[in-house]
Amino acid sequence: MESARRLARQVRPRRVAHALFARHARTDHRRAATWFAQSGHAGSFERYVVRLYLVAWVTALVAGAVAAATRTTPLRAVVAGGAAVGIVRLLAVQAGIARLRVACWRRRHALDRATPHAVVTLRRCVAGTTDRRRLLAAVATATDGPTARAFDRLARRAELEGVESALRATARATPSPAFAALCRALCGPETGLAGRLD
C-alpha cells in the first residue's frame, strides 16, 4: 500500500485520474468534480480520485482473496474471487462519490442556514460604508462558520477578478440558493445597496 502511494505521488495525478475515470461517463466525471468543488474538500479533485481508486482496489482485492479462500474447488474460487473484486471495487468507488455528494449537500444547507445572519451583519456594515470590498472583508471577520469561509473566499476572489465579476461568478457557482441570492443583491451600483439587502 505504501509503495502504491509513493507511485501515485510520483505520477501526474491528473493523468492518472482521467485514466481511472475512462470507463465512466463524461457527465459522471464532471458531476463528481463539481461536487468536490462544492463540498469544501482540501486538495485537488485528481488526488482525491487517485486515493479513492487505490482504496477501492485494495479493498476489492482483499475481499476477492477472502471469497476465493472460502471456496472448495479452483473454478469456484476464481469465479467467487473475480465477482467479489468487481462488485466491491464498484461499490467502493460509488461510496466515495456519494461521500462528495453528501458533503456538498451538508455544506449547502449549512450555508443556507447561516446566510440570514450574514445579511443582518451586512446591513449593519452598510451603515458605515458601501465599498463592497470592505463590506466583504468585514463580514468575513464578523461572522463565523460557513459564511465566514464563503465571504473570505469571495473577498479573495474579488481582489483577483474584481468585485462585480467575483459576485456574479459566485452567484452562478454556489450550491446555496440563499447565498446566490445574496451575491446577486450585492451586484450592481453601490448607491442602492442598502435597499437591495432589505
Question: 71, 89, 106: which is the final residue of a domain?
Answer: 106
Q: Give pTM, 2 decimals.
A: 0.60
Q: Are 171 and 185 in contact (CB under 8 A)?
A: no
- Say if residue 128 is in the same domain as residue 56: no
Q: Could you tell me if 62 and 148 lie in one domain?
A: no
13 and 100 assigned to the same domain: yes
Per-residue confidence at 170, pLDDT binned at 50, 70, 90? confident
Examine the domain organization and report whether 100 and 140 are in the same domain.
no
Same domain? For 98 and 184 the reply is no
Q: 171 or 130: whose pLDDT is higher? A: 171
Task: Please check whether residues 22 and 78 belong to one and the same domain.
Answer: yes
Residues of the domain holding 66: 2-106
Mean local confidence (pLDDT), 155-178: 84
67-112 pLDDT per residue, tens: 888 877 888 888 888 888 888 887 887 888 788 788 778 888 888 8
Q: Where a domain ends, among 49, 84, 106? A: 106
In sign, the C-alpha dihedral spanning 1, 4, 56, 30 is positive
Mean pLDDT of 35-49: 69
38 and 80 share one domain: yes
- The grid coordinates of residue 6 equal 509513493
pLDDT (mean) for 162-172: 85
Please tell me the total count of domains within the chain.
Answer: 2
Q: Which of 106, 132, 164 is the last residue of a domain?
A: 106
Q: Both 10 and 72 in a single domain?
A: yes
Residues 119 and 184 in one domain: yes
Indicate if 42 and 102 belong to the same structural domain.
Answer: yes
Whether residues 13 and 86 fall in one domain: yes
Residue 1 has pLDDT above 50, yes or no: no
- pLDDT value of position 14: 57
pLDDT at 183: 84
Q: Are residues 133 and 176 in the same domain?
A: yes
